Amino acid sequence: MATQPEWRIPPGLQPKAEDYAFDLETALSSVLTLTSHVPEDAFTAETLGSDRSGNGVLIREDGLVLTIGYLITEAEEIWLRANDGRTFPGHMLAYDQETGFGLVQALARLDLPALRIGSSASARVGDPVVVAGAGGREKSVAARIVAKQEFAGYWEYVLDEAIYTLPAHPNWGGTAVIDQKGELIGIGSLHLEQGEDEDTGHLNMVVPIDLLKPILDELTTLGRRQQAPRPWLGVYASEMEDRVVVVGRSQRGPARKADIRNGDIIVCVAGEPVSSLASFYRLIRAQGDAGVEIPLTIHREGRTFETRVASTDRSRMFKAPRLH
Check whether residue 213 and residue 273 sit in a common domain: no
CATH number at residue 295: 2.30.42.10
Q: Report, as ranges of residue numbers, the positions in the chain whose pLDDT lies below 50.
A: 1-4, 197-198
pLDDT for 136: 97
**Structural domain ending residue among the three candidates 193, 226, 259:** 226
Confirm if 260 and 308 have CB atoms less than 8 A apart: no
| Torsion sign (Cα): 58, 40, 313, 255 | positive
Q: What is the pLDDT of residues 21-76, one digit of tens each?
A: 999 999 999 999 999 999 999 999 989 999 999 999 999 999 999 999 999 999 99
**Structural domain ending residue among the three candidates 190, 207, 226:** 226
Q: From the centroid of its chain, how far is CA 107?
A: 23
Average pLDDT of the residues of the chain: 94
Find, among 69, 100, 68, 63, the residue nearest to 82 by Cα: 63
Distance CA 53, CA 36 (A): 6
pLDDT for 168: 97
**Backbone Cα Rg of the chain:** 20
Q: What H or E segment, with its residue span, contains residue 45?
A: helix 45-48
pTM across the whole model: 0.94
Other beta carbons within 10 Å of 239: 16
- Assess if residue 25 is contained within a domain: yes
Q: Which long-range contacts (CB under 8 A, 24 or more apart) does 118-122 make?
A: 118/179, 118/181, 118/183, 118/184, 118/185, 118/209, 119/183, 119/185, 119/209, 119/210, 120/163, 120/185, 120/186, 120/208, 120/209, 120/210, 120/211, 121/208, 121/210, 122/179, 122/185
pLDDT for 3: 47
Confirm if 244 and 299 have CB atoms less than 8 A apart: no
The number of folded domains in the chain is 2
pLDDT for 139: 97
Residue 322 burial class via C-beta count within 10 angstroms: exposed 0-12, middle 13-18, buried 19 and up: exposed
DSSP 154-196: TTTEEEEEEEEEESPPTT-TT-EEE-TTS-EEEEEEEEEE-SS
**Structural domain ending residue among the three candidates 202, 226, 250:** 226
CATH number at residue 127: 2.40.10.120
pLDDT for 280: 98
| Domain encompassing residue 278 | 235-317
pLDDT for 4: 47
pLDDT for 5: 52
- Assess if residue 322 is contained within a domain: no
